[in-house]
Chain A
Amino acid sequence: ETGVTQSPTHLIKTRGQQVTLRCSSQSGHNTVSWYQQALGQGPQFIFQYYREEENGRGNFPPRFSGLQFPNYSSELNVNALELDDSALYLCASSPPGQASLEAFFGQGTRLTVV
């Protein structure tokens, strides 16, 4: 059984650019959530995907969007990058019926916007 994997591990982008982050969920998990963790802060919920549909969204602007694929892997897209988007982006997957009660996190993607 493989764990949650995210790619890339590190990324540097320029303000105004677009970025796509990827997440492979743990085997058997059908729910994926994305979190943003700024320096010195706890993770903040961006959105959750369940069966390829967005199933809850945090207080993030529409330029943060996502996708979930039939194999339950997921992408996080951020358009028009701003300096404040620099953070660690975490993906978490959960087994059916458990969602946030049993979340397994990836190692994260460190995004730096310059």
Chain B
Amino acid sequence: AQRVTQPEKLLSVFKGAPVELKCNYSYSGSPELFWYVQYSRQRLQLLLRHISRESIKGFTADLNKGETSFHLKKPFAQEEDSAMYYCALVMNRDDKIIFGKGTRLHILP
């Protein structure tokens, strides 16, 4: 079955340090991968998607099909990055979004 795994429930990182949120998926086809973010008291929103190959708020994510991973990275953490991050997979555009359980990122001052 298709699955998204985020091994860390909580990740605490000092301000200015690099951030890496891990995400692995299981799917035999070619999925679309996403990162969603939920800031405190705000709605779930799309952060970035691999097909766009973009950098949003300094975050990037590279799809590694060999390792079936889509880790989220940022070279220098900022306090406003503290939030809940969800890795997600879509098999085709009309299908459901499969979410991981999420990682809470806590940026320490």
* Closest chain A CB from B65 CB (angstroms): 19
Evaluate whether A90 and B44 lie within 8 angstroms (CB atoms) in the complex, with A41-B101, A45-B98, A101-B49 already known: yes
Is B11 an interface residue when CB atoms closer than 8 A count as contact? no
Give the docked Cα–Cα distance between A100 and B33 (Å).
11
- What is the 8 Å Cβ interface bit string for chain A, positions 32-60, against chain B (1 contact, 0 not)? 01010000111111001010000110100
Residues on B with C-beta less than 8 A from A45 are: 96-98
Is B26 an interface residue when CB atoms closer than 8 A count as contact? no
Partner of A100, one of B86, B90, B101: B90
Between-chain CB contacts (< 8 Å), 14 pairs: A33-B97, A40-B101, A41-B102, A42-B88, A42-B99, A43-B86, A43-B99, A44-B99, A56-B95, A90-B44, A97-B93, A100-B94, A100-B97, A101-B32
* Closest chain A CB from B51 CB (angstroms): 8
Give the size of the chain B interface in residues (CB under 8 angstroms): 21
Give the size of the chain A interface in residues (CB under 8 angstroms): 29
Give the docked Cα–Cα distance between A113 and B96 (Å).
26
Binding site for A on B (CB under 8 A): 4, 32, 43-46, 49, 51, 86, 88, 90, 93-102
Residues on A with C-beta less than 8 A from B102 are: 41-42
The interface stretch among A14-22, A71-79, A102-110 is: A102-110
Report yes or no: B45 in contact with A55, Cβ–Cβ below 8 A.
no
* Closest chain B CB from A106 CB (angstroms): 6
Partner of B45, one of A33, A44, A105: A105
Give the docked Cα–Cα distance between A33 and B90 (Å).
13
Report yes or no: B96 in contact with A101, Cβ–Cβ below 8 A.
no
Report yes or no: A43 in contact with B45, Cβ–Cβ below 8 A.
no
Report yes or no: B101 in contact with A98, Cβ–Cβ below 8 A.
no
Report yes or no: A105 in contact with B96, Cβ–Cβ below 8 A.
no
Evaluate whether A103 and B96 lie within 8 angstroms (CB atoms) in the complex, with A43-B44, A90-B44, A108-B43 already known: no
* Closest chain A CB from B32 CB (angstroms): 6
Is A111 an interface residue when CB atoms closer than 8 A count as contact? no
Report yes or no: B46 in contact with A102, Cβ–Cβ below 8 A.
yes
